[in-house]
Amino acid sequence: MKIARFLAGNTPRWAVQRDRTWYWAAGELFCEDFCVTEEAVQGSCPYLPPCDCSKIVCVGLNYRDHVKEMKHDMPSEPVIFLKPPTAMVGHNGEIVIPHGARRVDYEAELAIVIGKKAKCVSASEADQYIYGYTCLNDVTEREIQKRDGQWTRAKGFDTFAPVGPWIETELDPQHLDIRLLVNGVEHQHSNTSNFIFRINEIVSFVSGVMTLNPGDIISTGTPSGIGPMFPGDTVTVSIEGIGELTNRVK
């Protein structure tokens, strides 16, 4: 099931896709009263990030080829960092390069959406806390990342977390093709089978560090092929079984 969030007038509203048609939903996502109505979405409504979150937790260095690309040692446990919710922008939204930036990179990632409060869950029970999956572009100012020696500022600018276009709730994440295209040309291509740490391991590890709330996002790392974006570029994250997240750079 695909669940998106649109801006209807000035009001954010969730919608559910049935037979390739979007229908408005009633109630709150992650709550028992959430249900699909018979009212079809009419016209073209802008996409919003598909969920509200208290935090975006990102995993660095989770593809073997990317670890080699970045010349790091293979991690023995997940390397995690945070992006603020204010960095989110939806499908078709703009990635804004901040003043003074020297190199802003794309990073295609599969993102987990948490469905219920999770604290210190085991890997064997982690599936029970996952609501679905979406696409995320972990946009990074690479020169600031190198200069700071840690990643918060380089990855925390407004619009540096495009996410969407929707949440897919019926998906096996273990063997998914993931690609990134700039202006229609492929720059990243891998498969989630190349993860160092699997989905359940990641959820368990992160929940052992911090409480995860409904709507929180865990982004699972990027494959090799990272590179810069420039004003005027159109960047697309494409993940098998989910769809395409497209954003223009300005």
202/104 same-domain check: yes
Give the pTM: 0.96
- Looking at the structure of the chain, the number of domains it has is 2
Phi, psi of 19, deg, nearest 5 = 50, 45
Domain residue limits at 173: 48-249
Q: Verify that 142 and 28 share a domain, yes or no.
A: no
Please determine, for residue 65, whether its predicted confidence score (pLDDT) is greater than 90: no
Residues 126 and 28 in one domain: no
- Residue 105 and residue 28 in one domain: no
Cβ-Cβ contacts under 8 Å for 69 (sequence gap 6 or more):
224, 225, 226
Together in a domain, 114 and 40? no
Q: Which of the four pLDDT bands, split at 50, 70 and 90, describes residue 229? A: very high
CB 128 within 8 A of CB 238: no
Does one domain contain both 36 and 55?
A: no
Residues 53 and 41 in one domain: no
What pLDDT, on the 0 to 100 scale, is given for residue 61?
85
pLDDT averaged over every residue in the chain? 96
DSSP annotation of 120 reads: S
Whether residues 96 and 128 fall in one domain = yes
Specify the amino acid at residue 76.
S
What average pLDDT score do residues 11-18 get?
96
60 and 25 within one domain: no
pLDDT band at 74; cut points 50, 70, 90: confident
Find the CATH number of the domain harbouring 173: 3.90.850.10
- Using CA atoms, how far apart are residues 199 and 78, in angstroms rounded to an integer? 11
Residues 67 and 159 in one domain: yes
Do 7 and 100 lie in a common domain? no
Residue 239 CA to residue 216 CA, distance in Å, equals 20
d(CA 24, CA 12): 11
Together in a domain, 86 and 119:
yes
